Structure 1
């Protein structure tokens, strides 16, 4: 089974018939316990159980069940994708067990798709959630994602606690595996800011063909690395920006960022300013989910502080 997916929203739906959940910044996963075997699979179907031994241990001994949820690493009470990244690609059992001690994860459950061999995907969301509530109540140690009937209040709470956004789910909706359905909608908080381009990445064999931009922000009188952006750059924008960049031999930043795998970085004079949308800043000062919007010819690079 593949996870059901949510459509993007610009505003939460009004009226009755909807439930609202927090959007957790983690890794979507299906946790399956069948014939005593625990399997955790990512959204694309990869087996990721070895990376999360504490979740396997939690589910060991549980009767037949299939759960949908999000693997989350918390820091200061908030989801931290940066902490989670240390766990995501580990396959060594010994290393995973060590990391589980210092960087534990939580499986935040929000749907129940099979119980005692009976599939529940065709049942309405509200019925599945009621069954899930009872299931969780009988099993200490499991974490349930709460749901609410007030969209505006859920939205305000999500913003207040620095969460990624809000999900809206139609109460009468079945679970449609692998389908991006309008019965589920996601409203992700989006910020925007202006950044100066200090370089670009290209393929190792074609370094002059721009694939992403290296960004910096002006802080304390100097430019500091803010991340890279490739999403939103169509062919026309790539060509236009590349022509405007004045290549230089050295990185204009104090600490040059590492190139992405299979890419090489070319540096340029910090003269071109771009506007970028993003969801949040990571703990190490990088843009999360950046998307290119436009070149800002009306902005001086000294004004590129990352603020909208």
Structure 2
């Protein structure tokens, strides 16, 4: 796969209309590139399969449901989203148990109790031919001709009416939509105005700089202090406590435990009420936070923790439209 990173969308201001655009559901999951190379000497044998996250981390072990793609019998590079369902809706929180698992046996057990699905929306290589320089309309036609229809992978529909899809996804509690020019080429690792995203909820990724104990506890985590990477350093954006409980908090503490630091990693001053009792950590862990925008003081308004993003690193957040 040569270190390829997926093409990214920019934030749109209004859903475009017209025949030059198609519109897709924006899935609340984990972006991956899936690389399949068939076995040359025996087409009936499973081929070589790689599954890599947006920051090029190998996550094949985490998702054994996708291993069957090795038997596709075609040389392909697929772009898509791995999703898990909660109450019938793709939800990143439901995926949190899956994305950090590096043990094959544990991953297999979780695949039974909390299965994932790969939703494929682009085709970047087919039978040795690089398709990134061909328009989306052609890539999409070739993708739909592959017959990728399985319980663990499928090609979701694309739509002509973006306004209708935006309303429908809001009613169905989906994350939003992405509008794409049919003529758009695929630019790996770049953010393009030919792809526009329209999320229904304000969900962002932030870097953890410290954590606080739960009230009246010396062992449980109660909140994290998060920041936004900028040219001036990690800028404080607030304390997040909602959503951190039970297994979520335990997992988060396991991740943060080895990263203890002697001082605050934030470039600006943290309010005393937030800093008091905080355990500082090296700014290496990325988490997703849902919030009702920002306060005038540039703090997250009513933030809620959603999960650790092992598929992202702090450097990925320097482009804040991610």
Say whether the fold is shared (TM-score over 0.5). yes
For residues 240 and 63 of structure 1, the distance between their equivalents in structure 2, rounded to whole angstroms, comes to 47
* Cα separation, partners in 2 of 1:146 and 1:61, compared to 1, 3 Å: closer
* Cα separation, partners in 2 of 1:240 and 1:62, compared to 1, 3 Å: closer
For residues 133 and 236 of structure 2, the distance between their equivalents in structure 1, rounded to whole angstroms, comes to 48
Matched with 1:294 is 296
- Mark the runs of 5 or more structure 1 residues left unpaired by the alignment: 193-200, 203-210, 217-224, 243-250, 271-285, 297-303
- Asked whether the 8 Å contact 1:121–1:176 carries over to 2, the reply is yes
- Asked whether the 8 Å contact 2:229–2:235 carries over to 1, the reply is no
Alignment of 1:89-128 (within 5 A): 89-128=100-139
* Cα separation, partners in 2 of 1:115 and 1:134, compared to 1, 3 Å: same
Matched with 2:32 is 29
* Cα separation, partners in 2 of 1:289 and 1:25, compared to 1, 3 Å: farther
Shift of 1:156: 0.4
Matched with 2:154 is 143
Matched with 1:54 is 65
Matched with 1:16 is 19
Deviations 1:158-192 (A, max 9, x none): 10111111101001111111111111111122359
TM-score norm. by structure 1 comes to 0.68
Alignment of 1:221-300 (within 5 A): 229-231=226-228, 261=256, 262=259, 287-288=289-290, 292-295=294-297
Structure 1 residue corresponding to 2:79, chosen from 68, 92, 95: 68
* Cα separation, partners in 2 of 1:212 and 1:15, compared to 1, 3 Å: farther
Matched with 1:5 is 8
TM-score norm. by structure 2 comes to 0.65
Task: Give the secondary structure class of the aligned counterpart of 1:85.
Answer: helix
- Asked whether the 8 Å contact 1:229–1:290 carries over to 2, the reply is no
* Cα separation, partners in 2 of 1:144 and 1:228, compared to 1, 3 Å: farther
Task: Give the secondary structure class of the aligned counterpart of 2:133.
Answer: coil
Matched with 2:283 is none
Matched with 2:279 is none
Shift of 1:103: 0.8
* Cα separation, partners in 2 of 1:150 and 1:267, compared to 1, 3 Å: same
Q: Which has the larger radius of gyration?
A: 1
**Moved segments of 4+, more than 2 Å:** 57-62, 139-142, 211-214, 225-235, 237-242, 255-260, 262-270, 286-296
Deviations 1:203-244 (A, max 9, x none): xxxxxxxx5798x9xxxxxxxx78765349998x979999xx
Matched, 1:182 2:193: yes
For residues 81 and 241 of structure 1, the distance between their equivalents in structure 2, rounded to whole angstroms, comes to 21
For residues 78 and 241 of structure 1, the distance between their equivalents in structure 2, rounded to whole angstroms, comes to 29
* Cα separation, partners in 2 of 1:294 and 1:127, compared to 1, 3 Å: same
CA RMSD of aligned residues (A): 4.0
* Cα separation, partners in 2 of 1:263 and 1:152, compared to 1, 3 Å: farther
**How many pairs were matched up?**
249
- Asked whether the 8 Å contact 1:231–1:292 carries over to 2, the reply is no
Shift of 1:49: 0.3
